[in-house]
Amino acid sequence: MPDKALAHGIFAYCSHSAVYRRNLRSYSAIRRAACRAAPASGTAKNHFAQPRAALSLTHTAVNPTFQHLLQLLRDRDPRAISGIVVGVVLLICIVAFLVRAFRPSPEEVERRRRERLATTGRITDGVIVDARTLSGEDSVSPTPEVLVYSYRLAGVTYNCAQDVSRLPEQVRGFRIDQPVQVRYDQRNPGNSVLVSESWTGLWQK
């Protein structure tokens, strides 16, 4: 009887071993097939997973304040939208004020032009042809507001006018047809000056 049990146990063991070997061979074949297919499936997995990672990175990199504003816009809270509009308008007003505050006035631009030409401009001979007011009328004042003068360069005659209302002491004692010196920009001969804060082309007696 024990011999029969022993024989039965050995037979069962051998049977199980054979099944195990068959299963092992099947498992090995399945694993090899899976390994051969792994690059394609891995590529597909990475291909679909990468946008999610990029989206997550972008989401975490966004400023929390900006996210809050976006959320408020999605909720369409009228008070939040009104606050944003008011903030944008105030920002525009502040920027415009700063630009105007630091932008030179027309008088300052003209003063800089006079000084630049007085120090770097070339000199040529000219003549005063008229004296006028800022409104364009003839002036008989000893300190006119506008002096009209003429000069000639390379066969071209230039007739120019300069506002001298802020330089009365520099033009006092002028006369019509008086020979003068004119400083002009060599690159733009029509840009010239007759007097400035630091220089005058009027020939004083």
pLDDT of residue 205: 46
- Alpha-carbon separation of residue 151 from 118, 185, 198, 201 (angstroms): 16, 13, 21, 12
Instruction: Say if residue 51 is in the same domain as residue 32.
Output: yes
Residue 150, pLDDT score: 97
DSSP assignment letter at 103: S
Q: Residue 201: inside a domain, yes or no?
A: no
In sequence order, which residues have a C-beta less than 8 Å from that of residue 81 and are 6 or more positions away?
Answer: 72, 73
* Same domain flag for 138 and 166: yes
Q: Is residue 110 within 8 Å of 118, Cβ to Cβ?
A: no
Q: What is the pLDDT along the chain (205 residues), one digit of tens a residue?
A: 555 554 555 445 545 555 455 555 665 666 666 666 555 444 444 444 445 544 444 555 556 777 776 776 666 666 767 777 888 888 899 888 887 777 888 899 999 999 999 999 999 999 999 999 998 888 888 899 999 999 999 999 999 999 999 999 889 888 999 999 999 999 999 999 999 999 999 975 4
Cross-strand partners of 128 = 149
Can you tell me the distance from the alpha carbon of 196 to that of 166, in angstroms, rounded to the nearest whole number?
10
pLDDT of the residue at 97: 80
Please tell me the total count of domains within the chain: 3
Domain membership of residue 142 (yes or no) is yes
pLDDT at residue 64, rounded to an integer: 73
Tokens 């105007």 sit on residue: 100
Report whether 189 contacts 123 (CB < 8 A): no
Tell me what pLDDT residue 3 has: 52
Largest Cα–Cα separation, the chain: 154
Q: State how far the Cα of 171 lies from the Cα of 119, in Å rounded to an integer.
A: 19
- Residue 77 domain-assigned (yes or no): yes
What angle, 0 to 180 degrees and rounded to 10, lies between the N-to-C axes of helices 64-75 and 78-102? 130
pLDDT > 90: percent of the chain:
38
Domain encompassing residue 51: 1-61
Same domain as 180, residue 145: yes
Predicted pLDDT of residue 39: 52
